[in-house]
């Protein structure tokens, strides 16, 4: 079989190898680099999207947490307001009750005092009437005796005053 030189340039082999090299470059690009690079790019995009989603979710959660905290804060404020109002109300009511009680007590006391005064006056009048009666009796008794008008009046007054002191 014919052989080529061990060290030599064969023009057609030379040309063929140049073509082969470029064909090989094209084949590698088409069958290895392009699909793998596309896949890597897709994966990178997916990873990026996932990271973005996670960031968004985290932001949302933070927002939600902030709004919850605000709501809680507001609720607490409202509760304390309600408690304060209730306490104020209760204090006012108790004061009113006390005042009313005091006024009622005062009214009762006044009434009682008035009653006492009235009873006293009534008793005095009763006694006066009785004394009047007694005076008539006394007068009847002393008819026999001659009495001056002045003696008569003095007698009555003395009696009344003596009775008044004892009552």
In the complex, least distance from residue 51 CB atom to other proteins, rounded to whole angstroms: 15
Q: Give the residue with the Cβ less far from other proteins, 16 or 64.
A: 16
**Count of positions on this chain that bind other proteins (CB under 8 A):** 39
In the complex, least distance from residue 8 CB atom to other proteins, rounded to whole angstroms: 6
The gap between the terminal CA atoms of the chain, to the nearest Å, is 174
In the complex, least distance from residue 63 CB atom to other proteins, rounded to whole angstroms: 31
Rounded CA-CA distance 99/93 in Å is 10
Contact of 135 with 156, CB cutoff 8 Å: yes
- The only residue of 42, 88, 109, 141 in contact with other proteins, by rule CB under 8 A: 42
Contact between 49 and other proteins (CB under 8 A)?
A: no
Q: Give the residue with the Cβ less far from other proteins, 43 or 73.
A: 43
Contact between 23 and other proteins (CB under 8 A)?
A: yes
The maximal CA–CA distance of the chain, rounded, in angstroms, is: 204
Of 49, 117, 80, the closest CA to residue 109 belongs to 117
Contact of 138 with 155, CB cutoff 8 Å: yes
Q: Give the residue with the Cβ less far from other proteins, 23 or 116.
A: 23
Contact of 165 with 131, CB cutoff 8 Å: no
Residues that bind other proteins (CB under 8 A): 1-18, 20-29, 31-33, 35-37, 39-40, 42-43, 46
């Amino acid at each position: 079989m014919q052989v080529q030189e061990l060290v030599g340039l064969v023009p057609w082999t030379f040309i063929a190898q140049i073509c082969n090299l470029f064909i090989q470059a094209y084949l590698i690009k088409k069958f290895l680099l392009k699909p793998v690079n596309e896949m890597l790019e897709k994966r990178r995009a997916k990873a990026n999207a996932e990271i973005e989603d996670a960031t968004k979710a985290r932001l949302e959660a933070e927002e939600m947490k902030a709004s919850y905290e605000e709501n809680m804060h507001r609720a607490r404020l409202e509760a304390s307001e309600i408690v304060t109002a209730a306490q104020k109300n209760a204090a006012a009511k108790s004061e009113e009750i006390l005042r009313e009680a005091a006024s009622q007590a005062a009214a009762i006391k006044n009434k009682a005092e008035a009653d006492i005064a009235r009873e006293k006056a009534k008793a005095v009048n009763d006694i006066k009437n009785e004394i009047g009666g007694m005076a008539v009796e006394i007068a009847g008794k002393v008819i026999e005796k001659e009495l001056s008008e002045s003696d008569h009046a003095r007698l009555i007054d003395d009696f009344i005053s003596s009775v008044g002191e004892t009552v």
